[in-house]
A = this chain, B = another copy of it.
């Protein structure tokens, strides 16, 4: 039960929900997230560490960049919640706006 509440705590923050929503499109590196969220790097990294710790995301190093993605190897709880969240978050205005600004940034690939 304590574990369950910890998993929910990770979802109980607007920034982290925005991050998850963005990652549902595919993996992203920290710099992409910084740009879209317009938050300092330490803040973004902290939230990512929180999400990783709770098993929501996975990371992968590629040279100097860290790519984060939704963790597909989580528990049934993770899977079910992820599926549920995907539909819900997609319908929110903030998600749409974030996706849009992500697309703009990716076009001229500022990060690489």
Contacts and interface: CB of A to CB of B under 8 A. Distances in A.
B80 A84 contact: yes
**Max count, chain B CB within 10 A of own CB: residue among A4, A11, A14:** A4
Interface majority SS on A: helix, strand, loop or mixed? helix
Given A80-B84, A84-B84, A5 B14 contact: yes
A12 interface: yes
Contacts of A94: 1
Interface string A1-43: 1101100110111101110000000000000000000000000
A89 interface: yes
Given A81-B84, A84-B80, A84-B81, A8 B1 contact: no
